[in-house]
């Protein structure tokens, strides 16, 4: 059997978790959390990074820090995970979905401007598959209209746009360290804060509305409840698990890229013949091999494909059901403009198994099976 995903495990995780336990420090913001924050800040040249309990909670924090008020509008793609939308709905915003580009499956930056109204506050580009959105255009629009940009970089850890790490370009960036992502702590995430004016507010929001972080740094002599907040700190045990992976991030990245490149090379002839479509990586983007997908001709062919692979015990999955047609999407949002690609492309896309240390043997079996399905062997 070939799983769709196996969470990364590199060897030092349990040793580090034990160290956290032995240090009698398993709540949040212990030494491992601090090391993870520092690692992310240094490697991605980020002004400030705070580990959170999930990618979703990093998005929640970003929405609140943007000062979303009931009635505000947020522009986002419909082709994304529910968390991208939830964060802003919880803060009281209405969702305005715009279409994606078929080449990267990312928000179509040329459709954003016509979705802006008096109520628009935030644009949320989602870097699908760890391939960057067209950030120069998006940042230019945001600046011209005075909007905030929250990057959903849940899939984009170790990806770059024009040399800049994803998550560090907008006002805020949100990473996920869920077990399905490239680097994992089971459940977890991080908020990247790119404007230092938000550092204090973010710490307070994350620490139950208290100024406890300042207290521990000796900047105030007592700590107290200063604003609304919640608890977005992960346990240091989880951070310990993540640190082990960040320390070998380049190795994990190379390993995933090797699988990705092998798939691409093997399926390129099928694309040449017009049988399938493969992902596009624009020239300004360095990606992290978060996923490998192919696009088939239609929903019916995709269903046959998934069943065919399942008979060989190879697990392939599809996503997303576009948010604008989901029950909550109908309730909380509207689609601006034409749905030229979102629905059509989401019905054709299927993801192949890709995880750290997928064996060469299994990879070759996946490749052979895909070719067999198309009668190209």
Q: Residue 173, SS3?
A: strand
Binding mask 78-117 toward ligand PLP (x if CB under 6 A, else -) reads --xx-xx---------------------------------
Binding mask 3-42 toward ligand PLP (x if CB under 6 A, else -) reads ----------------------------------------
Closest approach, Cβ 124 to ligand PLP, in A, equals 10
CA 360 – CA 159 distance, rounded (Å): 24
Neighbours of 71 (CB within 10 A): 10
Closest approach, Cβ 62 to ligand PLP, in A, equals 11
Our CB check for ligand PLP shows the closer of 63 and 370 to be 63
CA 234 – CA 54 distance, rounded (Å): 8
Our CB check for ligand PLP shows the closer of 202 and 270 to be 202
CA 160 – CA 276 distance, rounded (Å): 27
- For residue 109, give every residue at least 6 positions away whose Cβ sits within 8 Å of its Cβ, in sequence order, or none: 133, 134, 137, 138, 141
Tell me if the bond preceding 103 is cis, omega within 30° of 0: no
Our CB check for ligand PLP shows the closer of 319 and 368 to be 319
Scanning 65-73, 147-155, 206-214, 221-229 for contacts with ligand PLP by CB under 6 A, the matching segment is 147-155
CA 290 – CA 144 distance, rounded (Å): 32
Q: Residue 112, SS3?
A: coil
126 contacts ligand PLP (rule: CB under 6 A): yes
54 contacts ligand PLP (rule: CB under 6 A): yes
Our CB check for ligand PLP shows the closer of 156 and 370 to be 156
Nearest CA-CA partner of 288 in 261, 263, 321, 310: 261
176 contacts ligand PLP (rule: CB under 6 A): yes
155 contacts ligand PLP (rule: CB under 6 A): yes
Of 56, 211, 245, 288, which one interacts with ligand PLP (CB under 6 A)?
56
Closest approach, Cβ 63 to ligand PLP, in A, equals 12
Q: Regarding beta strands 349-352 and 292-295, do their DSSP bridges make them parallel or antiparallel, or are they unpaired?
A: antiparallel
Our CB check for ligand PLP shows the closer of 62 and 202 to be 62
Closest approach, Cβ 330 to ligand PLP, in A, equals 20
152 contacts ligand PLP (rule: CB under 6 A): yes
Neighbours of 287 (CB within 10 A): 26
What tokens appear for 111 in the block? 């459709």
Q: Kindly state the number of chain residues that form the binding site for ligand PLP, as judged by CB under 6 A.
A: 14
Our CB check for ligand PLP shows the closer of 8 and 55 to be 55
C-alpha radius of gyration, the chain, whole number: 21
245 contacts ligand PLP (rule: CB under 6 A): no
CA 129 – CA 290 distance, rounded (Å): 5
322 contacts ligand PLP (rule: CB under 6 A): no
CA 169 – CA 152 distance, rounded (Å): 11
154 contacts ligand PLP (rule: CB under 6 A): yes
CA 203 – CA 216 distance, rounded (Å): 12
Q: Regarding beta strands 94-98 and 333-335, do their DSSP bridges make them parallel or antiparallel, or are they unpaired?
A: parallel
Q: Which spans of this chain sit near ligand PLP (rule: CB under 6 A)?
A: 54-56, 80-81, 83-84, 126, 152, 154-155, 176, 178, 189
């Amino acid at each position: 059997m070939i799983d769709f995903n196996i969470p990364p495990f590199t060897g030092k995780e349990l040793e580090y978790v034990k160290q956290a336990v032995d240090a009698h420090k398993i709540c949040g913001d212990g030494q491992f959390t601090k090391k993870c924050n520092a690692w992310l800040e240094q490697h991605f040249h980020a002004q400030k990074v705070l580990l959170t309990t999930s990618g979703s909670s990093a998005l929640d924090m970003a929405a609140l820090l943007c000062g979303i008020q009931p009635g505000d509008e947020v522009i986002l793609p419909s082709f994304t995970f529910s968390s991208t939308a939830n964060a802003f709905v919880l803060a009281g915003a209405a969702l305005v979905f715009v279409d994606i580009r078929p080449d990267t499956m990312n928000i179509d930056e040329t459709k954003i401007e016509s979705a802006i109204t008096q109520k628009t506050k935030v644009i949320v580009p989602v870097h699908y598959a760890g391939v960057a959105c067209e950030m120069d255009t998006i940042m230019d629009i945001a600046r011209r209209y005075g909007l905030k940009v929250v990057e959903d970089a849940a899939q984009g850890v170790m990806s770059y746009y024009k040399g800049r790490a994803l998550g560090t370009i907008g006002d805020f960036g949100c990473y996920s360290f869920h077990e399905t992502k490239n680097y994992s702590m089971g459940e977890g995430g991080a908020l990247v804060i790119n404007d230092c004016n938000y550092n204090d507010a973010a710490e307070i929001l994350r620490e139950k509305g208290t100024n406890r972080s300042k207290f521990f740094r000796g900047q105030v002599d007592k700590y107290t409840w200063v604003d609304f907040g919640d608890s977005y700190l992960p346990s240091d045990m989880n951070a310990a698990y993540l640190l082990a992976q960040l320390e070998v991030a380049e190795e994990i990245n190379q390993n995933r890229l090797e699988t990705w490149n092998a798939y691409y090379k093997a399926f390129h002839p099928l694309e040449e013949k017009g049988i399938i479509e493969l992902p596009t990586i624009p020239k300004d983007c360095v990606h992290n091999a978060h996923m490998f997908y192919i696009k088939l001709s239609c929903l019916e062919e995709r269903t046959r494909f998934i069943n065919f692979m399942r008979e060989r015990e190879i697990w392939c999955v599809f996503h997303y059901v576009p948010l604008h047609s989901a029950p909550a999407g109908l309730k909380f949002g509207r689609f601006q403009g034409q749905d030229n690609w979102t629905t059509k492309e989401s019905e054709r896309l299927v993801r192949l198994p890709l995880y750290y240390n997928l064996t060469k043997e299994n990879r070759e079996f996946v490749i052979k099976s895909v070719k067999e399905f198309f009668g190209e062997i």
